Amino acid sequence: MSLCKRRGFVYQTSEIYGGINGFWDYGPLGTLLKRNLREAWIQDVVMNPCWGKVGPDGQPVSMVMVDTRIIQHPKVWKASGHVDGFNDPMVDCRETRGRYRYDHVQVFVPASGEAGDKPVFAYVGDQPSEKAQRKKAEKLFGEVKSVMLSALPQPWDRVIAPEAEKPGTLTEPRMFNLMFDTVPGAIRDEANKAYLRPETAQGIFVQAKNVWDTNRVRVPFGIAQTGPSFRNEVTPRNFTFRSREFEQMEIEFFVVPPEHLEGEEKTTADPIAWYKFFRDWRMAWWQSIGLGSENLILREHEKDELAHYSQATSDIEYRFPFTSPGFGELEGIAYRGNFDLTQHQKHSGTKMEFRDTARGDILPNGSRRGVAYIPHVIEPSAGLDRGVLALLCEAYTKDETRASPEFMKFHPRVAPIKAAVFPLMDKDGLPEVAQKLHAELKKRFGKLGMVEFDEKQNIGKRYARMDEAGCPFCFTIDADTLKDQTVTVRDRDTGTQQRMAIDKVAGFLGEKLGE
Ligand code: GAP
């Protein structure tokens, strides 16, 4: 976190006013890192879907993109289930005004289980109060153990809440909706209430019919979208991991319902085959942009973890330093059946059916009668800001032997700075040669990221600065360059240096950046 602040990756939002819990801004390097991750996703999901692989039906994967609004009609969230179901049960403390997730509150009780009428001490996860509460409990009971608050019968009049002085200040659990609300227009009343979207997915579902009616797409195909979502998380924490404003990168991939598949297709192109295809490709994708270590896992949900409408779900999880040895979700891939489109059909009264002219009975003229159905959906839903956090954690490397004891090993594709050019000394015409190379590289690679020029300080310090920013290659112009037209290229990860002809630099970099 301190490197992120010091080098301009991530800042606290409104920091000069003390920050605002659950909101983070990106500085110059972080903004580029995030842009590169989003661009890589758009490139590989929409422009060249799944790297040109064919889907389980043997056809190239088809994908289009939309850009829908943060504020949708409030009925969207009624239909999606977010108004009624997007809740966490919370308990409030009347004394400290603290609010805690019911299922996070634990209590220290005597190890013997016998508290009599003495107070017991509540704490929440890794909050600072945990140690203090344990101390107080140990003073009273000697050996203590912790149990969930829910294990104690209500009213909790002997429970001392985290940070509280008096017992009995916790309320019973109450539902707390995670959606932010707002009021568009001048009249601020309940009837005009709207919500900030808690996911980008519903914007895709409600426009799906417009997309297939006005574009030359046919099922199976996907609609992709990236953009901000908002959740009034009760306990935002772990740096940007759980934020109240964050960006998502979501795909809704529409497939033929199993009952409309015929013969061979039942096994090769059924929704489960598409689900497995996306699950495996999304995992390979995260690995391809630098999350290649054993910190990344794919976890298939157990049957009892599945939402009622889902037949299969898996999570791509990353071992963040603060979740370690556990893992935190980076992306979920879910087979959602036709739940969402059916809900919107029911609530809007608009038919959300796709007319598939390649199916149905064969007519005397050899063509098909066509069938109409509500497509099934495979949803790979990733967090963009969480992806950035995983890239930052994975890249962060400590090496006390180097001039920069901390450096960032970004994959060249996402690295904010792609290359740097240094004149070894500020004389003998070296800066002019370096500037020429810098201009050439900037022109060719500027669309991918920054190309830096640095002539200040000694060369070791310049390398160290670039290492911290995660710049994969530095090119140094020295006196020999003037004699034999070669430069030194230094590799960030190994620190090794080699000589290369100056006119080969752009080609070398192009290859390394996968241009
Ligand atoms: N449409 C499905 C959906 O939104 P989700 O699991 O709630 O599913 C998808 O969210 C992804 O969005 C998560 O895997 C995570 O990467 C990201 N995400 C969710 N809540 C977040 C939060 N509070 N802060 C940052 N990222 C979040």
Q: Which of 24, 223, 248, 291 to mutate to test the pocket of ligand 1 (most atoms within 8 A of CB)?
A: 248
More confident residue, 225 or 457: 225
Is pLDDT of 126 > 70? no
Q: Which pLDDT band, with edges at 50, 70 and 90, does 309 fall under?
A: confident
Percent of residues, the chain, with pLDDT higher than 90: 85
CA distance 335 to 115: 48
Per-residue pLDDT at 45: 98
With a 6 Å cutoff on the Cβ, whether 231 touches ligand 1 is yes
Residue 171 has pLDDT above 80, yes or no: yes
How high is the pLDDT of residue 369?
93
* Ligand 1 centroid – CA 269 distance (Å): 28
My answer on whether omega of the bond before 423 falls inside 30° of 0, hence cis, is no
CB of residue 246 inside a 6 A radius of ligand 1: yes
Q: Whose CA is nearest to atom 17 of ligand 1?
A: 383
The two counts, helices (H) then strands (E), for the chain are 14, 27
Stretch 54-78: mean pLDDT, rounded?
Answer: 97
- Neighbouring residues of 424: CB distance < 8 A, sequence distance ≥ 6: 430, 459, 476, 477, 478, 479
Ligand 1 centre distance from Cα of residue 318 (Å) = 14
Q: How many CB atoms lie within 10 A of CB 147?
A: 13
Measuring from atom 15 of ligand 1, which residue has the nearest CA?
383
The C-alpha atoms of residue 384 and residue 31 are separated, in whole angstroms, by 12
CB 55 near ligand 1, within 6 Å:
no
317 ligand 1 Cβ < 6 A: no
List residues bridging with 319 in a β-sheet: none
Average pLDDT value for the chain: 95
CA of 248 to the centre of ligand 1 (A): 7
Calpha distance 275→144 (Å, rounded) = 47
Structure tokens at 190: 């309940």
Q: How far is the CA of 383 from the centre of ligand 1 (A)?
A: 5
User: Which atom of ligand 1 sits closest to the CA of residue 233?
Assistant: 23
Condensed to tens digits (0 to 9), the pLDDT of residues 390-408 reads: 999 999 999 999 888 999 9
The residue whose CB lies within 8 Å of the most ligand 1 atoms, and thus the one to mutate among 101, 180, 199, 278, is 199
Q: pLDDT tens digits for 70-108?
A: 999 999 999 999 999 888 899 999 999 888 999 989 999
Alpha helices, DSSP H only, in 11-169?
Answer: 28-42, 74-80, 82-85, 129-141
Question: What is the tens place of the pLDDT at every residue in 1-21?
Answer: 999 999 999 999 999 999 999
Q: Which of 70-79, 114-123, 410-419, 493-502 has the lowest mean pLDDT?
A: 114-123
pLDDT digits (tens, 9 = 90+) for 439-474: 999 999 999 999 999 999 999 999 999 999 999 999
Q: How far is CA 142 from CA 86, 138, 256, in A?
A: 41, 5, 63
Cα–Cα distances (Å) from 239 to 21, 330, 380, 385, in that order, read: 10, 14, 24, 11
Q: pTM to 2 decimals?
A: 0.91
Phi-psi region of 410 (alpha: psi -120 to 50; beta: other; left: phi over 0): beta
Tokens of 354: 């796709």
Among 60-69, 384-393, 424-433, the least confident range: 424-433
Lateral strand order in the sheet of 159-160: 144-148, 105-110, 120-124, 159-160
Percentage, residues of the chain above pLDDT 70: 99
For residue 227, pLDDT beyond 90: yes
CB of 472 closer than 6 angstroms to any ligand 1 atom: no
Query: Would you state the pLDDT for residue 487?
Result: 98
Nearest to 24 by CA among 40, 50, 53, 4: 4
